[in-house]
Structure 1
């Protein structure tokens, strides 16, 4: 039982860092690259990436992060590490709503709508589709990236507060 809290805290760090890094990569490279490409290529590539992200490598970071952080908060509270518990709890709640729920409510429906579109042959039609999709998707991705970064930061605060 003595090692449960450090293991849970370490998992909180790994998972919150992984999901922040995933969202951050979309902000600083992936979407800029797609925006620079032919919009027909961008639509096709985004459809392929959205279809491929549903996998066992991505799932733990995306789905488990808030629950591992909240478990860490509970374990810290049980060991009278209140300031660490609060940091992990705040981070877990921030990611739960600002990362997981936001993604499920906004980005996933946008991705599913894009998946239903047949990539048009005409570049102008594809440009309209992509210009309707990309800026809005990126705005929400930037929000979830910032909030995931805050959750990662709270993990750091929690770890700092766990020190001996």
Structure 2
């Protein structure tokens, strides 16, 4: 298999991994937390956010734009110019609306929530959760859509190789 094909398939895998990660938050995790006691939701979100910084998450989150850029470069040099443009577009979409959006919005929200002492009464916890969850979910949905678009663009790029 050629280097451009190998990188193209790798790009699909990286995009698919991060899209799936963000998508799972949209369609199950946050909805489930919204149904839970808000004290439990806050504690669970704090624990999940603390645990996500690991060697399994790192490649999909941080290396996806690197793999896409490498794929675009190799495709371009291999005369697959159309494919190169699609991979470059995928990388740009994910970089801006996936990685940078997460670092600029979701991570600061997570860090603020991490500093919250969980109140003993449900009403106070509900206020904290309602200040956090809807906004966090909006931004997560945006990065999920962007990651899906990046995956789609990478798929189109693969079809041009």
TM-score by length of 2: 0.99
SS at match of 1:55: coil
Corresponding residue of 2:71: 72
Corresponding residue of 1:159: 158
Gaps of 5+ in 2: none
Corresponding residue of 2:131: 132
CA RMSD of aligned residues (A): 0.7
- After TM superposition, list the pairs within 5 Å mapping 1:102-121 onto structure 2: 102-121=101-120
Corresponding residue of 1:50: 49
- After TM superposition, list the pairs within 5 Å mapping 1:1-150 onto structure 2: 3-150=2-149
Instruction: For residue 3 of structure 1, report the CA deviation from its aligned partner.
Output: 2.5
Instruction: For residue 11 of structure 1, report the CA deviation from its aligned partner.
Output: 1.0
Q: Distance in 2 between matches of 1:146 and 1:36?
A: 24
Gaps of 5+ in 1: none
Q: Distance in 2 between matches of 1:77 and 1:150?
A: 21
Q: Tell me the matched-pair count.
A: 161
Q: Deviations over 1:76-121 (max 9, x none)?
A: 0001101000000000000000000000000000000000001110
SS at match of 1:118: coil
TM-score by length of 1: 0.97
Q: Distance in 2 between matches of 1:7 and 1:126?
A: 49
